[in-house]
Structure 1
Amino acid sequence: MTTKTALVTGANKGIGHAIARGLAGRGMTVLLGARDPGLGERAAARLRDAGHDARALPLDVTDPASVAAAAGLVAAATGRLDVLVNNAGISGDPVHPPDEADLGVVRRVFDTNLFGVIRVTNAVLPLLRAAPAGRIVNVSSGTASMTAMTDPDHYFWNTAASAAYPASKAALNMLTIQYAKRLRGTGILVNAAAPGACATDFTAEFTRATGRTTDRTAEQGAAIAIRLATLDDGGPTGGFFDDAGPVPW
């Protein structure tokens, strides 16, 4: 088997779909994880219509049974996994001040953005180990940078305080480091990507809340995740990157 297989969670639209399309364009068989099987199949069909090998994979990262079933389907179909992109994420409430936090909302955000990454990664890790050179990319956010958040000269300094989304992505960055430490010497590289604010349905929530707009496309946002998913042997691991290179923690 020479064709690489990639799994992208939350791949039915937005940056996730752009990542799936970019990896498929590089000759990979791409599995599009999506909570809604219908939306996942329609997204996969769009890629197949463009001549790519794309398959829908029902996957709810918050549901252990769904994650286990998805891992079983991948194992039965390919016996290995070359690339995992943990893209599925939710914002909960874009503006969620810590002193007014609804812990139910915070838990839901962490359940998808952090615990979901652990569930999926652990479920498919044996398949990544079976690949010659596995790659794991966790889609994080520039809002996870504590350096940027505490820099008066950075625009994040003036964004509203939030206990949910930025905190979950900062935790995801630390989780990325811990997986990289654990997998040293295995050939599996683990990195976090900051795609930047893109004009997608996801970012529309932030636009409404903050008034900050962007004309950055999903394809532009996907580029760094694609780059990290296709690193050569000897590439970085345990890092946090955007288009310009390493992002300060």
Structure 2
Amino acid sequence: MKSVLITGANKGIGLETAKQLAKKGLFVYLGSRDIAKGNAIIKELIENGSENIQAIEIDVTKPETILAAKNIIEMEQGHLDILINNAGISGIVPQNAIETSIDNYKEVFETNFYGVISVTQAFINLLRKSEVPRIVNVSTSVGSLALQSNPDWPAYDYAKYAVYGSSKAAMNMYTVHLAYEMRNTAFKINAVCPGLTKTDFTNFNGGEVDVAAKRIIKYALLDENGPTGKFFSEETNPETGEIPW
């Protein structure tokens, strides 16, 4: 049975991704900063028929919780097949390049960028033990430098997320380097934008959460011929999914 860790999975897209992967027969570690909330969700899921899923405490800004989660998964599974770096925050909005405080930038980068690095580095050796290691870094098309600098891009004038977009652009570059370093291995590592989705993160604007989760799962379950080191947004590019960095 394949195992997967999803950070920030106690609600929204992360939770829906966990539900769908559990139904597909994977053992799912539902990452939650608040283990009490995570356990409450698991209790409800199990009562509704879900199997092979458990909550695990992990706060991507707290190294001690990352290490503890790694030790639990190593003890229980011996390896990890899939890491989905889903945890993220938007920061105070609206936000812009000139007036938004540096403290807001630091807070968002701590989760969206440094958190991804901390979790990935902690779990990379467990992933190396998998025959089919996969990493999905949940990103956003707002973090595309090429798109955001294009006057014809629909979101060109939507400068509400200068901090959030910058943090995801940094994470995208990390994804490029990570994929490059693992290019001669079985790893498949990609950045995936699930699209604007109806969650509390977007004040419930956008598409359905089940569709967003399927977009992430597609790249979490790539076969050996799948792409690596790419940026995908099927909302932006329905034909091939790939978008420019």
Please classify the TM superposition score into its range, dividing by the shorter chain length.
Answer: over 0.9
Quote the offset at 1:161 in angstroms: 5.1
Q: AA paired with 1:117?
A: V
Percent of pairs with identical residues = 41
Quote the offset at 1:154 in angstroms: 1.9
Asked if the contact 1:94–1:165 (Cα under 8 Å) also holds between the matched residues in 2, the reply is: no
Q: AA paired with 2:243?
A: V
TM-score (norm 1): 0.92
The match for 1:61 is 60
Q: AA paired with 1:177?
A: V
Quote the offset at 1:234 in angstroms: 2.0
The match for 1:122 is 121
Quote the offset at 1:96 in angstroms: 1.2
Summarize the alignment of residues 36-185 of structure 1 with structure 2, pairs less than 5 Å apart.
36-49=34-47, 50-160=49-159, 162-185=161-184
What is the root-mean-square deviation in Å for CA atoms of aligned residues?
1.3
CA distance in 1, matches of 2:132, 2:161: 37
Asked if the contact 1:98–1:161 (Cα under 8 Å) also holds between the matched residues in 2, the reply is: no
Deviation string, structure 1 residues 48-97 (Cα, Å, up to 9, x no partner): 23232100000000001111111111111101000000000000023211
Superposed structure 1 runs of 4+ greater than 6 Å apart:
none
Aligned pair count reads 239
Asked if the contact 2:191–2:230 (Cα under 8 Å) also holds between the matched residues in 1, the reply is: yes
The match for 1:227 is 218
Does residue 16 in structure 1 map to residue 24 in structure 2? no
Query: Structure 1 residue aligned with 2:23, among 19, 25, 28?
Result: 25
Deviation string, structure 1 residues 141-198 (Cα, Å, up to 9, x no partner): 1101122212222221110254310000011111111110111122011001101111
Structure 2, unmatched stretches of 5+, are none
Asked if the contact 1:47–1:53 (Cα under 8 Å) also holds between the matched residues in 2, the reply is: no
Asked if the contact 2:29–2:55 (Cα under 8 Å) also holds between the matched residues in 1, the reply is: yes
Does residue 240 in structure 1 map to residue 239 in structure 2? no
SS for the counterpart of 2:229 is coil
Structure 1, unmatched stretches of 5+, are 208-212
Asked if the contact 2:19–2:50 (Cα under 8 Å) also holds between the matched residues in 1, the reply is: no
Asked if the contact 1:17–1:43 (Cα under 8 Å) also holds between the matched residues in 2, the reply is: no
